[in-house]
Structure 1
């Protein structure tokens, strides 16, 4: 609206603003402004995430170092915890319930230890992922960075922890007669596929946990149920021998069972291909790619809402 001012008795008409009458959206477009914290395109988001790769690696290493900093044994708990779990499961399932049926003592112990270590990798990735946003709100609200950096970093932390623990797994396998061979080279693609799968899961539960913090309390029950149906302590094909074949196959294509059985096949001489479902590598790749891609897009769609509210 035009108005007049008086200077020394002379009326002067004010010059109308060129922005007068424009909506906020039109003003933003005119001056190249963008909404603070707006979600970038998917391609741009991937580019931003890649540019933060050094932060992701450093953050995961710092978290790994700090994880057991208050314990006297320090980083040894990375190995001691799954080993103690394996010892408990061996006593309950191997000695009391005889879940080792069909397997010799020299096969069952590395079978069990491998299952515990590999499933713990997925379990820990999910548990750390569900708290990735809700447990780091100070960082999320203080700094601008792609929020996917946090669940990816936590998954990377669990991968580093597993790699440290693999030394013990190798010792157990060798101690029970499974010596290094060409099949051990399969460990690399197996871990790569499982890492992709775990990261996708971490991204999914990170978004869920950011909106509903109670997910962190519910998740242990979900993971415990998953563990008992994935053949960590027993061979699915042996324990389900009297069940319909479709039921056996359904349990065997469970992603946790797929990655455990592939690792057992690679490490244990007495665990042959007959224990694996058909097309096992295709199924493993499908789970990895589908869950990672789906989880990444699912997490990205809520990017602008993390840390708000």
Structure 2
């Protein structure tokens, strides 16, 4: 008679703990997780001093190797304006029919350079600072915003030269110059939004930085930097003139010209120009910020 051996029941494996609940109970969170939008805004505001200091440091270091140093902050846009004056004003005769053409041109070059440089710097804001992004924890939007602030600081240096040029060419000081402040603020918000859009695109596809100079150059040519949109397109359909004038770059250029140059009249502006400038700033600023925030956890990875 065979003896039946009793076998012990199989050992029961204890249930694995709920790791998510365990982490939440001890106040742990996923590394690099995207905060909510209100939390992100608060984090960004808490780092406002870092943003300002980073922008100032970048501006100071930009020309540190040049013998003329910070003088190039003013000389670079002035030399660009001189080249454009020779090519467009003298050779192509775009100054014909434009009173105060030199103040018109220099204002356009300075204000356009602000937008162009902000977007180009934003394109490389993440891809060009991967060491900083991977080493420190901070809201990544601080980088494109700080680069825009750097370009605003550079523009303010250039504005001193612009004032001298305006006075030398007989443009009187007037109360309308105060309109330059809200115009610059709206342009800064627009530039920051565009910079954040391009920062996210450049972080995913760094080759965009090689393409952007061609895109920006084309945008400059249709924005009336070197020529008056109303004068050149007066024989075209009204809708063509209106579309060119409503281009955001042209809006901010013409607002600054209207504020600073007494011969640039309100009739040369598109309808409801301040609402248009505020609308572009709101769409680009808020839209760019949200678009950038949605990819916050992906920057610096891969």
**Superposition TM-score, scaled by structure 2 size:** 0.94
What's the CA shift string for 1:54-109, capped at 9, x where partnerless?
000000000000000001111111111111010010001110110012123xx101
Aligned to 2:129: 136
Alignment equivalent of 1:245, drawn from 225, 234, 238 = 238
Aligned to 1:71: 66
Alignment equivalent of 1:304, drawn from 284, 287, 297 = 297
Q: In the TM superposition, what are the counterparts of 1:164-203 in structure 2 within 5 Å?
A: 164-203=157-196
Alignment equivalent of 1:61, drawn from 52, 56, 67 = 56
Aligned to 2:92: 97
Distance in 1 between residues matched to 2:69 and 2:208, nearest whole Å: 29
Aligned to 2:33: 38
What's the CA shift string for 1:149-194, capped at 9, x where partnerless?
0000000000000001100011111111111111000011010000
Alignment equivalent of 1:88, drawn from 77, 83, 86 = 83
Distance in 1 between residues matched to 2:130 and 2:24, nearest whole Å: 31
Aligned to 1:223: 216
Alignment equivalent of 1:25, drawn from 20, 29, 37 = 20
Distance in 2 between residues matched to 1:267 and 1:29, nearest whole Å: 58
Q: What secondary structure sits across from 1:147 in the alignment? A: coil
Distance in 1 between residues matched to 2:191 and 2:98, nearest whole Å: 29
Aligned to 1:47: 42
Distance in 2 between residues matched to 1:144 and 1:80, nearest whole Å: 37
**Superposition TM-score, scaled by structure 1 size:** 0.92
What's the CA shift string for 1:216-241, capped at 9, x where partnerless?
10100010000000000000011001
Q: How many Å apart are 1:142 and its aligned residue?
A: 0.3
Distance in 2 between residues matched to 1:246 and 1:162, nearest whole Å: 32
Aligned to 1:277: 270
Aligned to 2:207: 214
Q: How many Å apart are 1:23 and its aligned residue?
A: 3.8
Distance in 1 between residues matched to 2:108 and 2:27, nearest whole Å: 55
Q: How many Å apart are 1:300 and its aligned residue?
A: 0.2
Distance in 2 between residues matched to 1:143 and 1:73, nearest whole Å: 34
Q: What secondary structure sits across from 2:40 in the alignment? A: helix
Distance in 1 between residues matched to 2:29 and 2:98, nearest whole Å: 63
Distance in 2 between residues matched to 1:22 and 1:230, nearest whole Å: 62
Distance in 1 between residues matched to 2:70 and 2:92, nearest whole Å: 33
Q: How many Å apart are 1:36 and its aligned residue?
A: 0.3
Aligned to 2:140: 147
Aligned to 2:109: 116
Unaligned runs of 5+ in 2: 1-10
Q: How many Å apart are 1:274 and its aligned residue?
A: 1.1
Unaligned runs of 5+ in 1: 1-13
Distance in 1 between residues matched to 2:29 and 2:300, nearest whole Å: 19
What's the CA shift string for 1:1-46, capped at 9, x where partnerless?
xxxxxxxxxxxxx9x97xx423433333343321101000000000
Distance in 1 between residues matched to 2:205 and 2:140, nearest whole Å: 17
Q: What secondary structure sits across from 2:224 in the alignment? A: coil
Q: How many Å apart are 1:201 and its aligned residue?
A: 0.5
- The CA RMSD measured in Å over matched residues stands at 1.4
What is the number of equivalent residue pairs in this alignment? 292
